[in-house]
Structure 1
Amino acid sequence: MNALVERIEARTPVHRDRAIDGLRALALLAVPTGHWLLGGFTLSSDGALHNASPLGTFGGLAPVSWILQMLGIFFLVGGYASVLSYRKRKGSTGDWLKGRLARLGRPVLGVTAVWALLLPLLHYGFGVPGDTLRTASTLVIQPLWFVGVYTVVTALTPLCVRAARRAGVWAAAPLLVSVAVVDFLRYGPYADAVPSWLSLLNILPGWLFAYQLGVSWGEGRVTRRHAWGLLLGGAALFAALLLAFGYPASMVGVPGEARTNSHPPSLLVLALAAAQSGAAILLRDRLGKFLRRPALWAPVVVVNLSAMTILCWHQTAMLAAAIPASYVGEVPGLVVAPDSVGWILARLAWMPLFAGLLVLIGRYARGFESPWTGTGRTRRTAAGLLAAGFAVFALGLA
């Protein structure tokens, strides 16, 4: 282990911004942690798994979602890193975008193609109930929406750079206003007259907000004074939306709740992202110094190198434990209604196993992140068709 730490330290360029990588790793690890902690299963009479959430019983756990909802940080860091990469591009903007998008697409294509092959094997070979496979498919595809959104905002990087150079940190303000207007329409006094699809208008500006802040940061247009403004202003708006305007406290969807903050993002998500972004910018130097320690830096490098693998396969790791357990019956913290303190404690005990399974899966799945140079057109086409078939099944279209 010491040899690995020393090797990683020796290979790290002197100019590497360790704080940015540290923030990205923190945001990445929050995704599986949140899904594993706040996602549970119930077992029906026919032995099938169904999704359940402890938030339906324990509303007091909502503040946990404020900590674990770190997509604002991820988009902030993504915007910052994209600016640096965009400046250093050697080819055209189109070539740069093609390379960035291919890095996002390959792992998604890999996990969905593999699951397309697993579905019939699990059902016909091992007798896994169809409802269990529906549940599993929903969980696998759930985090992949993020990749789609991130792909779109990445494609908008050249426009974001222009906006940042013209307006600095204020380039993100119109995005905040846009989401506020849509929220007013869908939750205000005339909400009954507003079509349900209107909320979809929040998807792009809602997630582009933090990305644009990151682009402005990368362009050197965000000062410490701006960062304090984001932190304090975001926190104040967050509190006002919760206390005065009745926004749901949870940052993730809760079964039975009519409103949700994240799908699509509400103004509360942007308030949290603003506060998190301000804090991240203010703590950047301290975090960079902290990660000068080789033993702390090495895990950050490993997580960053496995970013898409973690995102795409962490739900599979949890399912690898839950599906076999469903044949045993109700298992505390794993396959039983998440409606007791005992479930929470048991789930915490299961999480190291989920992490270990993810590491094991990742040893083989990381290959999807590398360029598919040895893969012929026929195999790539087959993978695409399998992925499309899985998406149709997971989205309930077939």
Structure 2
Amino acid sequence: MRNTGRHGPDSVPDTANRDPAIDLVRFVCLALVVVGHSMMVSPVLHPDGTVTTENTLGDQHWFEPVIWIFMVMPLFFVTGGITGLQSWRRLKAAGGTAAQFIRARLLRLVRPATALLASMVVGLSVAGAFGVDRQVVQLMATGAAMPLWFLAAYLAAQLNIPVLAALHARAPWLTLGLLAGLVVAVDCLRGALPDLANANLVFVWCAVQQLGFLAADGYFSRLSRSGLLGVAVAAHLLLGLVTGLGLYRGNMLVNLNPPNLTLVILGIAQLAVMELARPLLAPLAEVGWISRLLKLAGARSLTVYLWHLPLLVAMSGLLLLAPIPKPGSGTAAWWWSRPLVVLVLVLLLLPVAAAFGHLEERTTAMRAFRCRPAQAGAAVVVVFIPVADAALNGLSLGLLAAGAACFSVATLLLGGVPLGARRKRGRRGIASGVK
């Protein structure tokens, strides 16, 4: 039945009926990403004054098989598919539209990203004005903005949820099969058409998200524990086969950019393992202090994700210029310094989350905005103009500024800055003062 009361469809909270086990999984994934990046970023200042970066963790030979365990990006999209489908169904049941869903998803991701991009433009411009070499500024811009690839891919997958959910309702396995087929087709053609590989930024992650749809509908939870174990083992054996035959690289970091079929297979394995662990995850997530931590972290998770790498890059750059001893990348002293780096990074993230985390929230004034399909479509185009440019031509300081401008325009188009509400409150305040 359509909700015609005071609270419109946009007011259906995304936090309703949340699964604490899924929240715990997402928190662990986020923690692994933050810790993993702290072990990868390692800038090097050369005698000629140039600066390069080394991926210390990625350069370790022993890490290639370990990354099969710690490559959690597929699990992010699986859980995003579970919560995204549930959110769309709640909104639709309350009388909401696809345009309203797209608006909510865009604002949830674009508003925090706008603050990040604007801050980076200001910070890097100031660094350049103070004499920091342009090559260093470019390196920092490229490295610090790397989390935005995830934002773009995640946003593309989430914005397709209304269409993919309709296909899923009619033929769930066929829909997944078609998406997987598109992934394979792109993988086969990328040798002849290298730019076509970027299409898998959509096809791969939509396919992995579709696994979350299946999980949301109980297809995996209905399997026995031995069945789930069999799925996990079979998926890993298939990964071993396609990488052992040389069809794909065994390094999942390489397979991430651009993504390919291995990440879909890994997503199947991770989903099966998550369902196997659910009897342990659910009660653990209900423990008092863990539940409070998940609620706090969940409300600021995107802010933490977007800001952790820029803060890490800035901190590494300052340490690089500081007149203090610096252990060589990958040495024992470097590894022993990592816990301290993670601790300092967390301390830096706390004030940033406090300052910018509210941008992830949806205010009452924002929910009152009625979004038309044309507005939602225009906002999507505006957002993906700089995203497509970054994917094809790489990141630069100018592109970060263009991205901040485009994201701001999209926010205005979607009513994400409730200026009208503020004016009304101001007029009411003046009127009450006159009375």
Report the TM-score, using the length of structure 1 for normalisation.
0.81
Shift, 1:14, TM fit: 9.9
Q: Provide the residue aligned with 1:4 in structure 2.
A: none
Long gaps (5+) in structure 2: 1-14, 367-381, 400-435
The secondary structure found in structure 2 opposite 1:32 is helix
Query: Percent same amino acid at aligned positions?
Result: 23
Match of 2:376 in 1: none
Q: Does 1:328 align with 2:335?
A: no
Cα separation, 1, equivalents of 2:59 and 2:105:
42
Closer, same or farther in 2 for the Cα pair 1:54/1:248, shift >3 Å?
farther
State the partner residue of 2:200. Answer: 202
In the TM superposition, residue 223 of structure 1 has moved relative to its aligned partner by 4.1
Contact in 2 for aligned 1:47/1:326 (Cα 8 Å): no
Partner of residue 100, structure 2: 95
**2:52 aligned counterpart, secondary structure:** strand
Give the 3 Å change call, closer, same or farther, for CA 331–86 of structure 1 in structure 2.
farther
> Does the 8 Å CA contact 1:164/1:221 hold for their aligned counterparts?
no
1:340 corresponds in structure 2 to 331
SS at match of 2:251: coil
- Secondary structure of the structure 2 residue equivalent to 1:326: helix
Residue by residue over 1:163-220, the C-alpha shift from the partner in whole angstroms, topping out at 9 and shown as x without a partner, is 322333553222223323333444xxxx4xx122232232211111221111222233
In the TM superposition, what whole-angstrom CA distance separates every residue of 1:146-171 from its partner, at most 9, and x where no partner exists? 11111111111122212322333553
Asked if 1:250 is matched to 2:255, the reply is no
Equivalent-residue separation in structure 2 for 1:83 and 1:203 (angstroms)? 20
Q: Which residue of 1 aligns with 2:235?
A: 234
1:293 is the counterpart of 2:287: yes
Change over 3 Å in CA distance of 1:282–1:38 after alignment to 2: same
Distance 1:388 1:205, change over 3 A: closer
Compared CA separation, residues 306 and 285, structure 1 to 2 (3 A): same
Alignment map for 1:19-98 (pairs within 5 Å): 19-45=21-47, 47=49, 49-55=51-57, 57-89=59-91, 90=94, 91-98=96-103
Give the letter for the 2:299 counterpart.
L
Q: Does 1:368 align with 2:359?
A: yes
> Aligned with 1:264: secondary structure?
coil
Root-mean-square deviation over aligned CA pairs: 3.1
Question: TM-score, length-normalised on structure 2?
Answer: 0.74
Using the alignment, how far apart are the partners of 1:306 and 1:329 within structure 2?
Answer: 35
Tell me the distance in 2 between the aligned counterparts of 1:349 and 1:153: 36
Report the Cα distance in structure 2 between the residues aligned to 1:261 and 1:340, rounded to whole angstroms. Answer: 27
* 1:52 counterpart SS class: strand
Residue 3 of structure 1 corresponds to none
Residues 212 and 393 of structure 1: is their aligned pair in 2 closer, same or farther, counting only changes over 3 Å?
A: closer
Shift of 1:65: 2.4
Structure 1 spans left out of the alignment, 5+ residues: 1-12, 253-259, 375-383
Work out whether residues 50 and 131 of structure 1, in 8 Å CA contact, stay in contact via their aligned partners in 2: no
Q: Which residue of 1 aligns with 2:347?
A: 356
In 1, are the aligned partners of 2:142 and 2:396 still within 8 Å (CA)?
A: yes
Alignment partner of 1:263 is 2:274: no
Asked whether the equivalents of residues 40 and 58 of structure 2 are also in contact (C-alpha less than 8 Å), the reply is no
Preserved contact between residue 303 and residue 356 of structure 2 (Cα < 8 Å): yes
- Separation (CA, whole Å) in 2 of partners of 1:39 and 1:239: 28
How many aligned positions are there? Answer: 360
The 8 Å contact of residues 179 and 203 in structure 2, kept in 1 or not, is answered as yes
Deviations 1:227-285 (A, max 9, x none): 45642332111111232226333222xxxxxxx31111122222211100111123223
Q: How far off its partner does 1:48 sit? A: 5.0
Give matches, 1:135-150, under 5 Å.
135-150=139-154
SS of the residue 1:220 aligns to = coil
Match of 1:158 among 162, 171, 179: 162
Max Rg structure:
2
Q: Secondary structure at the match of 1:394?
A: coil
Q: Which protein has greater RCO, CA pairs closer than 8 Å, 6+ apart?
A: 1
The answer for the alignment partner of 1:279 in structure 2 is 273
1:328 Cα deviation (Å)?
Answer: 2.2
For residues 173 and 34 of structure 1, do their structure 2 counterparts lie closer, same or farther at Cα, with a shift above 3 Å needed?
farther
Q: Verify the 8 A CA contact 2:235 2:265 in the aligned structure 1.
A: yes
- CA distance in structure 1 between the partners assigned to 2:188 and 2:99 by the alignment: 38
Residues 169 and 221, structure 1, Cα contact 8 Å, conserved in 2: no
Contact (CA 8 Å) 1:19, 1:291: kept in 2 or not? yes
